[in-house]
Amino acid sequence: MSQLFKKSANLWPIYLIITLIVLSSGLVGFFWYYGSPEYTDVGYRPKQPVEYSHKLHAGDLGIDCRYCHTAVEVSARASVPPTETCMNCHSLIGTDNPKLDPVRESWASGESIEWVRVHDLPDYAFFNHSAHVNVGVGCESCHGNVATMDKIEQKKPLSMSWCLSCHRAPEDGLRPLDQVTKMNWKMPENHTEFAQQVIKDKNITPPTDCSGCHR
């Protein structure tokens, strides 16, 4: 009696298994990257109610981050500047600039400008700006070089794995306190020695367990 299948059919199950492994690996890899903050969040640059340029203010004019983000050293939140902060300068500067109409309208009505948050962590994640800034973690480490951005955008993924990579090796992100707001800061040759001394002096022990950020 002749065989229904050729002898090569014995290999079909092996081919099927290999095909399933390749397809499933490709599918996992696809969602691993295209569903991650690295792809979905980096580059996020929403339209704001006012065309505010960090490049002009923080870059060309050299205004310190803390002039607008006043609470960054004392609070978990950096704080969004109120209209009064804008009007400290713009009551005299750019008074006929139509781009500043929303600022003047906010000043006259007393209603806050509805800025769109760019770096928006999930509600289940806790981040304390003051805890980072006061030990020497630069603004640029998380926000990128804002002094080059006409429109602010998210430069880092801000994912759990990204945060943990810094918590596990904090020495890589530390700088002198007087350089925290400086953009394009260059790491000196003796940085490792400096960072280790800061870690010792300030007893820096970033949490790596769940309760550190999920409270």
Q: Express each pLDDT in 49-103 by its tens digit.
A: 999 999 999 999 999 999 999 999 999 999 999 999 999 999 999 999 999 999 9
The whole-model pTM stands at 0.80
Domain presence at residue 110: no
Based on the domain organization, do 27 and 59 belong to the same domain? no
Q: CA-to-CA distance for 109 and 103, rounded, in angstroms?
A: 10
pLDDT at 37: 63
Domain presence at residue 1: no
Q: How far is CA 83 from CA 43, 50, 59, 75, 141, in A?
A: 27, 11, 21, 20, 27
* 6 has pLDDT over 80: no
Residue 174's DSSP bridge partners are 137
Based on the domain organization, do 61 and 121 belong to the same domain? yes
pLDDT at 94: 95
Span 95-113, pLDDT tens digits: 999 999 999 999 999 999 9
Find the distance separating the first CA and the last CA of the chain, reported in whole Å.
Answer: 72
Q: Which two tokens stand for residue 79?
A: 């704080």
Based on the domain organization, do 28 and 121 belong to the same domain? no
Domain presence at residue 62: yes
Residue 137 dihedral angles phi and psi, to the nearest 5°: -85, 120
Based on the domain organization, do 22 and 61 belong to the same domain? no
Q: Which domain holds residue 26?
A: 11-39
Domain presence at residue 88: no
